């Protein structure tokens, strides 16, 4: 098992380096960080423009800028922002903490829903339960992320107006000012996460439940499951220990591959609910041509995607011991 983990980590490192290079090239060619300065009226002096270009390292060759940026990452230096007083690293990690809790909770909820509904649909194939689950799955799959988020937000506003009290939070990741006390703050954060989590989880679970259903049907018709039934094992043990464990492998793959789309959905969801997370950071960086903030965002998300795929590889070995000895 240890050798399996080491091999997977060894493969992930060069992928991350290649990702960092692609991120740097794309972000560097996407815009001019001096555009905000050049469009001012009255225009700044050439000396001011030259100093700003030097601060942003625009007077250096492209590969030298990449090397400075890459080596600076090991010390926590994500490069200079167009906002001279902004610490890119500190801002990214603060915003990342806001976004990652939404993504993780939404993924857990979506996976649980997908497994439960997928298994029930497979066990009760062609029943009313199966048809209902299929209809709901396709319904949520067809819904745009922003539209579902807007519907949930409007429902929360209408509900609060109906009861004349703030019961459901519809704006922000936390209250302003935050409540005093640790548990009060935890409850406040959880309350603000309800609607964004539901929005993100429903969009994700819809496709995953169909994969889980198909995988479960395939496993239930396999020889080893029929052998387990013939040996007299209980239906529960056959389903959980023999069928479900192997049926989770395709879902693990799909979940890891869909992480990038979930991050994209989180950007939309955060915009609708006015969260100051990674989504808001990215959109502001694009508006202001803040290249180093954009690169930091892309690098962090690329790292998360690679990390989740690494975790998926390790889960394969846990779900199917034959993989670790391959």
Of 94, 20, 30, nearest to 286 (Cα)?
A: 30
**pLDDT score at 323:** 62
- Express each pLDDT in 167-215 by its tens digit: 889 888 888 888 888 888 888 888 999 999 999 998 888 889 988 898 8
**pLDDT score at 153:** 92
**pLDDT score at 46:** 86
Query: What is the rounded CA–CA span in Å between residue 154 and residue 64?
Result: 50
Architecture of domain 89-324: Orthogonal Bundle (1.10)
Of 251, 263, 258, 265, nearest to 114 (Cα)?
A: 251
**pLDDT score at 151:** 92
Rg (CA), the chain: 24
Sign of CA dihedral 220, 223, 226, 228: negative
Residue ranges of the chain whose pLDDT lies below 70: 1-2, 4, 320-326
Provide the token pair at 127.
């029943």
3-class SS string, the chain: CHHHHHHHHHHHHHHHHHHHHHHHHHHHCCCCCCHHHHCCCCCCCHHHHHHHHHHCCCCCCHHHHHHHHHHHHCCCCCCCCCCCCCCHHHHHHHHHHHHHHHHHHHHHHHHHHHHHHHHHHHHCCCCHHHHHHHHHHHHHHHCCHHHHHHHHHHHHHHHHHHHCCCCCCCCCCCCCCCCCCHHHHHHHHHHHHHHHHHHHHHHHHHHHHHHHHHHHHHHHCCHHHHHHHHCCCCHHHHHHHHHHHHHHHHHHHHHHHCHHHHHHHHHHHHHHHCCCCHHHHHHHHHHCCCHHHHHHHHHHHHHHHHHHHHHHHHHHHHHCHHHHCC
**pLDDT score at 324:** 57
């Amino acid at each position: 098992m240890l050798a399996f983990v080491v091999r997977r980590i060894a493969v992930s490192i060069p992928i991350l380096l290649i990702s960092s290079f692609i991120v740097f090239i794309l972000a560097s060619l996407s815009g001019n960080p001096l555009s905000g300065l050049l469009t001012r009226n009255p225009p700044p002096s050439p000396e001011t423009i030259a100093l700003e270009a030097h601060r942003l390292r625009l007077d250096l060759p492209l590969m030298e800028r990449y090397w400075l940026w890459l080596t600076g990452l090991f010390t926590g230096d994500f490069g200079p922002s167009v906002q001279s007083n902004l610490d890119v690293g500190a801002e990214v990690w603060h915003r990342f903490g806001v976004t990652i809790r939404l993504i993780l909770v939404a993924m857990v909820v979506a996976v649980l829903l997908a497994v439960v509904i997928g298994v029930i649909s497979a066990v009760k194939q062609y029943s009313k339960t199966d048809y209902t689950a299929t209809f709901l799955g396709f319904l949520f799959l067809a819904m745009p992320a922003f539209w579902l988020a807007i519907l949930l937000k409007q429902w929360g506003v209408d509900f609060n107006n109906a009861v004349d009290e703030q019961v459901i939070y519809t704006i922000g990741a936390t209250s302003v000012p935050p409540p005093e006390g640790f548990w009060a703050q935890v409850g406040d954060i959880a309350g603000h996460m309800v609607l964004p989590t539901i929005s993100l989880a429903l969009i994700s679970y819809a496709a995953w439940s169909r994969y889980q259903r198909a995988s479960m049907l395939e496993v239930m018709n396999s020889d080893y499951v029929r052998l387990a039934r013939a040996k007299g094992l209980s239906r529960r043990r056959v389903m959980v220990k023999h069928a479900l464990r192997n049926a989770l492998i395709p879902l693990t793959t799909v979940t890891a591959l869909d992480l990038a789309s979930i991050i994209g959905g989180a950007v939309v969801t955060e915009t609708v609910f006015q969260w100051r997370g990674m989504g808001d950071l990215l959109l502001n960086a694009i508006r202001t041509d803040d290249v180093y903030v954009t690169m930091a965002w892309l690098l962090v998300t690329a790292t998360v995607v690679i990390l989740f795929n690494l975790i998926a590889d390790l889960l394969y070995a846990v779900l199917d011991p034959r993989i670790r000895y391959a």
